[in-house]
Amino acid sequence: MTQLKKRAPGRVLTAALIAALIAAFTVAPLFATGKKDTGTQPGGNFSVLVYITGMVTGSPTYELLAAGAESFAASHSNVVVKVYEAGFNQAEWEEQLTSLVAGGGFDLVLGSNPSLPEICANVGKKFPNQKFIITDAEYPGNPQISTYLYNQYEQSFYLGYLAGLVTTGKMEHANGAKKIGFIAAQEYPLLNKHIVPGFLDGARRVDPEITLDFRVIGNWFDANKAADLTSSMISAGVDVFASIAGGAAQGMIRTAGEQGAYVVFHNTNEYRLAPGVIVGCGLMEQKKLTEEILTDVLAGKIQYGTSHTVGVKEGYLDFIADDPGYTGALPKDIQDKFNSFMNDIRAGRVPYTIPPL
Ligand code: RBF
């Protein structure tokens, strides 16, 4: 159990000096690199850096992380949150985090990305008192880092089952090809070993003949490239899509709507973006988890060096079945089959094996 870090009495600074230091070390570099700083002003006694590996807007996991931290700060006057967007150049992330940690005096760095723990481990070597908590990642064994892995194999598995029902069903745009599609921004172990295999395994619980067309955009923002891939996949027979592509997914959704195909969406309720096109949305309770993590941090209850896995049974993943985007778009037989499958998942009645990461 780790105690909450208290500022040393010898380091109590005047307001003016604090302001000068903040200007020198924190605000100036953020604005100098053109990054967005949406944090509340410092002045509290527990400061959290929310380190966004990309941009907040358009990336559900980041939106929920920032929202959770900001809502926690809004209800805890002693907590200060700074949200820093590191942008899409992954080669710069470690250097940016190093200078933020060096200059920011943050009690905690909070992030959400499978590649972040390794970067934190490197930064942490230079700053042995710095603590990091990363969701959407698995990294046990480092005494400065605690991680929470969403069981994304499981979410992809039930979204894949729904995709399987749609591609083999009789909806307007379903064809006879039994082909589902997945568009990824980039490849990384969690995607290749859990998310994509889970999607195909779920679909094959409906029909083992279903095949997967998998394509990669190459970045997290190019909606036009995603649109081109979608179009080519529809020509090749894909009638149901999933994606992990951040803001670029908008191009897939738009093209699926224009050319007649369906989408199942991970992590957030996006039905209203494209009614009748997005026919299923998973739910990731990242905002709730973020608030719980910060509660535990303040209570000194975080065990650094450990990794937790959270999924449907733990209450951090689910499917949004009470939205008109679902109830109004899918035929009753598909809803009945899927709802019953989802209930079996919730009750732990569907056996599956999570591949090693
Ligand atoms: N997900 C996003 O929604 N937006 C991003 O910009 C983004 N960038 C990522 C960069 C890297 C290097 C990695 C490994 C993953 C990234 N993800 C991003 C994926 C995200 O962390 C998560 O795995 C998926 O959103 C599935 O929950």
pTM for this one?
0.88
Q: Quick one: pLDDT at residue 345? A: 98
| Ligand 1 center from residue 337 Cα (angstroms) | 31
The closest-lying atom of ligand 1 relative to the alpha carbon of residue 221 is: 6
Pocket flag, ligand 1, residue 135 (CB < 6 Å) = no
pLDDT tops 70 at residue 25: no
Q: Quick one: pLDDT at residue 45? A: 87
Give the distance, in angstroms, between the CA of residue 312 and the centroid of all CA atoms in the same chain. Answer: 15
**Token representation of residue 298:** 């303040």
Q: Quick one: pLDDT at residue 70? A: 98
Provide mean pLDDT across the span 130-158: 98
What b/e readout covers 211-232, taking b as 16+ CB neighbours within 10 angstroms? bbbbbebebbbbbebbbbbbbe
* Model confidence pLDDT, tens digit, residues 158-217: 999 999 999 999 999 999 999 999 999 999 999 999 999 999 999 999 999 999 999 999
Pocket flag, ligand 1, residue 188 (CB < 6 Å) = yes
Q: Quick one: pLDDT at residue 14? A: 33
| Ligand 1 center from residue 113 Cα (angstroms) | 6
Pocket flag, ligand 1, residue 269 (CB < 6 Å) = no
* Model confidence pLDDT, tens digit, residues 70-93: 999 999 999 999 999 999 999 999
Distance (Å, whole) CA 49 – CA 33: 17
Pocket flag, ligand 1, residue 65 (CB < 6 Å) = no
Provide mean pLDDT across the span 339-347: 98
Instruction: Indicate the pLDDT class of residue 142, thresholds 50, 70 and 90.
Output: very high
